[in-house]
Amino acid sequence: MNSNPNFFAPMKKPILLYLTTLALAALCGGAAAGQATAQSAPDMSKYILTPKPADTPRINGARVFGVRPGSEFLYTIAATGIRPMTFSAEGLPKGLKLDPKTGRITGRVTAPGEYTVYLKATNALGSSERSLKIVVGNEIALTPPMGWNSWNCWARDVTQEQVLSSARAMVESGLADHGWSYINIDDGWQGKRGGKDNAIQPNAKFPDMKGLTRAIHDMGLRVGIYSTPWIGTYAAHIGSYSDNPDGVNEWIKKGRHNEHYRYQKEGGNYWKDRTEVWHLGPYSFVEADVKQWGEWGIDYLKYDWNPLDYYHVKEMHDALRTLDRDVVYSLSNSAPYGDAPQWMQYSNCWRTTSATRGRASAASGSARTAGCPSTARAIGPTPTCWSWAWWAGVRNSITRSSRPTSSIRTSASGRCWRRRC
């Protein structure tokens, strides 16, 4: 995240960004803060360089998918072409089923192994066929997770409705038909601890987290969430550790917080004061938080602090493995290159730099982004919602997968993937 107090101003207008020549995309779909309706989008024609998909079917997305034995399975056949469209799948392993109208494959596979499934998408103009290899074993995230992250759009002010609107935008824009599948809630969702396990509960901006994840899953997408082993996050919400054994941080006990339990001193400077909670705590609530995320149906975790350390990386890895669902584990930030074998062993992806900063002037269309190519610029009239991190990875903000890829792609944590160096 960025520590510049002016960098993450709350977004005022929704905007959809995508530059498909680099296979990068960002969604700031849905409603602006406090609003329920989207405003008209700017003319994107000069930025969208990829030809419009044909009306005939074409199956897109990953050709290999990893799942652990017994874990909940969700894979949506990504296909462009006019609707209505029907789907079929031959060779599905026992325990999986396909919805022929939506193309969603769900269920659980208990038998380890590799299964080749033959997919088909059909509409009135023709059909498309392609194979999919389902690998049931210990590894997941065999290809880079592709999706959207809330921070670059909404920062700490993110709400449930904004996340839901962005999920709808991913589907309605056609990005889901190209394989984009993750909707990740970044920092700003946290309230205080509670519930049967004394886990982090959402603040008032997220009145029904389980309902939110269910709604996003019903779109064929997956849901991510954010935390840290610090007692406070970069936005000064509570983390998965505490300075007290009951999990109630001192600043909450003393009333030093706003209505969403974000650390805030009376008469203080938030942007300066929040750094006071950026440290590890003596009491871990990792297991409680993971159990809660599993109950909500979380599919992805962005775990964010600096510097990364072996103990806390492994602790979260071990806790996530206790769930009956697969959670892609993404480390953020500033993971040292020299420790790559360690990160590979205990996580699915990791970010090797801090935030790459920059700002674009919408009026002039210019980009001023450290280490970014000239094509990395904001699109549209609102420079507060653009994808600085998505562009940054093209040169110097590299998030690596445990598997190499042949092209630059965007990870669901908002960082960029690249072929392993």
| Per-residue pLDDT of the chain in tens (421 residues, 90 and over written 9) | 444 433 333 333 332 333 222 233 335 544 443 343 445 667 877 777 878 899 999 999 999 999 999 999 999 999 999 999 999 999 999 999 999 999 999 999 999 999 999 999 999 999 999 999 999 999 999 999 999 999 988 999 999 999 999 999 999 999 999 999 999 999 999 999 999 999 999 999 999 999 999 999 999 999 999 999 999 999 999 999 999 999 999 999 999 999 999 999 888 899 999 999 999 999 999 999 999 999 999 999 999 999 999 999 999 999 999 999 999 999 998 888 888 888 889 999 988 776 654 433 222 222 222 222 222 222 222 222 223 233 233 222 223 333 322 222 333 333 333 222 2
- Secondary structure string (H, E, C) spanning the chain: CCCCCCCCCCCCCCEEEEEHHHCEEEEECCCCCCCCCCCCCCCCCCCCCCCCCCCCCEECCCCEEEECCCCEEEEECCEECCCCCEEEEECCCCCEEEECCCCEEEEECCCCEEEEEEEEEEECCEEEEEEEEEEECCCCCCCCCCEEECHHHHHHHCCHHHHHHHHHHHHHCCCHHHCCCEEECCCCCEEEEECCCCEEEECCCCCCHHHHHHHHHCCCCEEEEEECCECECCCCCECCEECCCCCCCHHHHCCCECCCCCECCCCCCHHHHHHHHCCECCEECHHHHHHHHHHHCCCEEEEECCCCCHHHHHHHHHHHCCCCCCCEEEEECCCCHHHHHHHHHHCCEEECCCCCCEEEECCCCEEEECCCCCCCCCCCCCCCCCCHHHHHCCCCCEEEECCCCCCCEECCCCCEECCCC
71-106 core/surface letters (b: 16 or more CB in 10 A; e: else): bbbbbbbbbbbeeebebebeebbeebebeeebbbbb
- The reported pLDDT for the residue numbered 352 is 79
- The reported pLDDT for the residue numbered 81 is 97
- CATH code, residues 15-45+143-417: 3.20.20
Rounded Cα distance, 28 and 19, in Å: 14
- The reported pLDDT for the residue numbered 355 is 62
- The reported pLDDT for the residue numbered 50 is 75
**Nearest CA among 279, 349, 277, 274 for reference residue 313:** 349
Confirm or reject CATH 2.60.40.10 for domain 63-136, answering yes or no.
Answer: yes
- The reported pLDDT for the residue numbered 406 is 28
- The reported pLDDT for the residue numbered 356 is 54
Burial class (CB in 10 A: 0-12, 13-18, 19+), 198: middle
- The reported pLDDT for the residue numbered 44 is 73
With contact defined as beta carbons under 8 Å apart, do 260 and 185 qualify?
Answer: no
CA angle 186, 171, 139 (to 5 degrees): 60
Rounded Cα distance, 243 and 249, in Å: 6
Residue for token pair 């750094």: 275
- The reported pLDDT for the residue numbered 311 is 95
Rounded Cα distance, 194 and 337, in Å: 38
- The reported pLDDT for the residue numbered 51 is 83
The partner residues of 90 in beta bridges, in order of sequence, read 118
- The reported pLDDT for the residue numbered 385 is 29
Domain ranges of the chain: 15-45+143-417, 63-136
**Nearest CA among 57, 219, 54, 65 for reference residue 131:** 65
HSE, CB side, 13 Å, CA atoms: give it for residue 132.
Answer: 26
Rounded Cα distance, 279 and 232, in Å: 7
- The reported pLDDT for the residue numbered 49 is 80
- The reported pLDDT for the residue numbered 393 is 30
